[in-house]
């Protein structure tokens, strides 16, 4: 407990566990208050928004961990705030235009929902990174509880009013807003005044983040969200709702452990780098072992029992989601190990590797898309093809991060 890394993990994982308990406790009620079609609309909006949200701040939210002084960090924060506002607005208008071509069923006010969710999610990520920079892991843990509590209460409340997909979308907006409020108060030190020249200086220093890593993040997110968007376009909103519910359940172990470990990992790695202590590989291997054990136990059990358990918990209308959870759990084992550790690629500014991994993901998913369009398999088989392609990329990503941190740790080993 004297180790800040251990305390940080326990604090953040504890908050995440409690938040997931709230979400899971509300799920049997929420699943009976809304139809799979309602969840389908929510899944489509969230997937479209999620394509751009990792790059909504043009990756200045990642760069904010690097400056040694608060003055430069304030300038990076200003750049991130400007970026997230512009990007969210442009993406909302563009996505509304494209969605009308892709989907047969129109989502009312799609541009407005995408704008709000993209903007708030970008702010949420930025303020979380600022808290991690200060190693205020308790604040990050608390935001998860605020967000989950607001989501559960508003979803049930809107559901009782029979508001349909509007209630789910409004709850998504309100929950993100609740998560931001606590973090914003703790990040006020980075919202102070500074000179315009400071912003120009950090733009020159961290130009790779908006120019290279932001487009790479969009490619990465496009690959992650393409299965939901594509399968919804091919198999309809009803199936999108089943898949969205399955993703929510299969993501629980990832949220419980992966998010907390990933945030502590990137916080500690950035701290080691600022102090020029290149002991990265040791931390990477330890956390990889923890993630692997968790994925085998947590997701393995979920894969075994989900076909029978999910319809019993959520209701008979969600029987298809039980089978989809089984598929996503197997694929999620690879995701749980690789994703929390992958942020080190951008932290060490490995732009070329980032782009190559993202292009590999798009290529594999494109192959799966072509195969589905040509053969028109059952929805479950199409799901295996899409998420199997992602699993291959997770293996590649983990192997590269291991090689990268081993290389970055080499100078210290030679000195010893």
What's the whole-number mean pLDDT along residues 138-160?
Answer: 85
Q: Locate tokens 């120009």: which residue?
A: 200
Q: What local confidence, expressed as pLDDT, does residue 67 receive?
A: 82
What's the whole-number mean pLDDT along residues 165-175?
Answer: 94
Q: What local confidence, expressed as pLDDT, does residue 416 receive?
A: 37
pLDDT bucket at 293, cuts 50 / 70 / 90: confident
DSSP assignments along 372-404, one per residue: HHHH---HHHHHHHHHHHHHHHHHHHHHHHHHH
Q: Taking a C-beta distance cutoff of 8 angstroms, is the pair 310, 249 a contact?
A: yes
- 327-358 pLDDT, tens digit each: 999 888 898 888 888 877 877 767 788 788 88
Across 59-63, 83-87, 244-248, 370-374, least confident range: 59-63
pLDDT exceeds cutoff 50 at 415 = no
Compare 259 and 229 and report the one with higher pLDDT.
229
pLDDT exceeds cutoff 70 at 274 = no
What's the whole-number mean pLDDT along residues 60-68?
Answer: 83
What's the whole-number mean pLDDT along residues 143-158?
Answer: 89
pLDDT exceeds cutoff 90 at 377 = yes
pLDDT exceeds cutoff 90 at 284 = no
What's the whole-number mean pLDDT along residues 21-46?
Answer: 91
Task: Please count the CA atoms within 13 angstroms of the CA of 377 that sit on its side-chain side.
Answer: 14
CA distance 331 to 50: 20
Q: What local confidence, expressed as pLDDT, does residue 160 receive?
A: 94
What's the whole-number mean pLDDT along residues 149-164?
Answer: 93
CA distance 409 to 123: 33
pLDDT bucket at 8, cuts 50 / 70 / 90: low
pLDDT exceeds cutoff 60 at 143 = yes
Average pLDDT, the chain: 84
What's the whole-number mean pLDDT along residues 52-76?
Answer: 84
Q: What local confidence, expressed as pLDDT, does residue 13 receive?
A: 60
| Consecutive H or E run containing 292 | helix 280-294
pLDDT exceeds cutoff 90 at 281 = no
Percent of the chain with pLDDT over 70: 87
Tokens linked to 393:
């990329």
Domain coordinates in residue numbering, the chain: 4-410
Q: What local confidence, expressed as pLDDT, does residue 414 receive?
A: 42
What's the whole-number mean pLDDT along residues 20-27?
Answer: 85
Compare 237 and 284 and report the one with higher pLDDT.
237
pLDDT bucket at 399, cuts 50 / 70 / 90: very high
CA distance 22 to 36: 21
Tell me the C-alpha to C-alpha distance, in Å, between residue 119 and each of 53, 70, 161, 187. Answer: 8, 24, 27, 17
Tokens linked to 265:
């990992």
What's the whole-number mean pLDDT along residues 183-208?
Answer: 75
pLDDT exceeds cutoff 80 at 104 = no
What's the whole-number mean pLDDT along residues 164-189?
Answer: 85
Q: What local confidence, expressed as pLDDT, does residue 15 receive?
A: 67
Across 240-254, 277-291, 309-323, least confident range: 277-291
- Cα–Cα nearest to 235, from 40, 31, 384: 40
What's the whole-number mean pLDDT along residues 44-67?
Answer: 88
Q: What local confidence, expressed as pLDDT, does residue 205 receive?
A: 83
**CB-based burial, 323-341: b 16+ in 10 Å, e otherwise:** bbbbbbbbbbbbbbbbbbb
Q: What local confidence, expressed as pLDDT, does residue 398 receive?
A: 92
Q: What local confidence, expressed as pLDDT, does residue 387 receive?
A: 93
């Amino acid at each position: 407990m004297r180790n800040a890394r251990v305390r940080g993990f326990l604090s953040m994982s504890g908050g995440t566990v409690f938040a997931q308990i709230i979400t899971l406790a509300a799920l049997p009620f929420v699943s009976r208050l809304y139809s799979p079609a309602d969840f389908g609309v929510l899944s489509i909006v969230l997937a479209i928004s999620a394509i751009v949200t990792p790059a909504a701040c043009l990756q200045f939210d990642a760069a904010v961990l690097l400056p040694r002084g608060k003055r430069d960090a304030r300038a990076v924060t200003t750049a991130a705030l400007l970026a997230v506002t512009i990007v969210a607005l442009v993406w909302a208008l563009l996505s509304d235009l494209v969605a009308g071509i892709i989907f047969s069923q129109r989502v009312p006010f799609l541009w407005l929902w995408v704008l709000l969710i993209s903007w708030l999610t970008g702010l949420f990520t930025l303020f979380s990174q600022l808290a991690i920079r200060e190693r205020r892991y308790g604040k990050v843990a608390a935001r998860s509880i605020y967000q989950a509590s607001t989501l559960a209460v508003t979803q049930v409340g809107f559901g009782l009013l029979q508001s349909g997909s509007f209630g789910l979308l409004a709850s998504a907006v309100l929950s993100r807003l609740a998560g931001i409020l606590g973090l914003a108060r703790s990040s006020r030190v980075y919202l102070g005044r500074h000179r315009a020249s400071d912003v120009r200086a950090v733009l020159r220093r961290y130009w790779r983040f908006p120019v290279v890593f932001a487009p790479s993040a969009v490619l990465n997110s496009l690959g992650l969200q393409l299965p939901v968007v594509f399968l919804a376009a091919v198999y309809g909103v009803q199936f999108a709702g089943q898949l969205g519910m399955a993703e929510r359940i299969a993501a629980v172990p990832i949220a419980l452990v992966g998010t907390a470990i990933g945030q502590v990992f990137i916080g500690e790695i950035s701290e080691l780098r600022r102090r020029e202590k290149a002991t990265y590989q040791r931390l990477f291997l330890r956390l990889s072992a923890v993630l692997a054990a968790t994925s085998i136990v947590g997701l393995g059990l979920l894969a075994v029992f989900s076909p029978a358990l999910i319809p019993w918990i959520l209701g008979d209308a969600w029987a298809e989601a039980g089978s989809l959870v089984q598929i996503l759990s197997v694929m999620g084992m690879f995701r749980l190990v690789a994703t929390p550790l992958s942020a080190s690629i951008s932290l060490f500014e490995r732009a070329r590797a980032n782009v190559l991994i993202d292009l590999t993901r798009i290529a594999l998913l494109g192959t799966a898309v072509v195969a589905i369009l040509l053969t028109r398999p059952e929805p479950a088989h199409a799901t295996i093809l899409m998420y199997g392609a992602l699993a291959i990329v997770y293996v590649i990503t983990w192997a590269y991060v291991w090689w990268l941190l081993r290389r970055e740790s080499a100078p210290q080993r030679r000195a010893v």
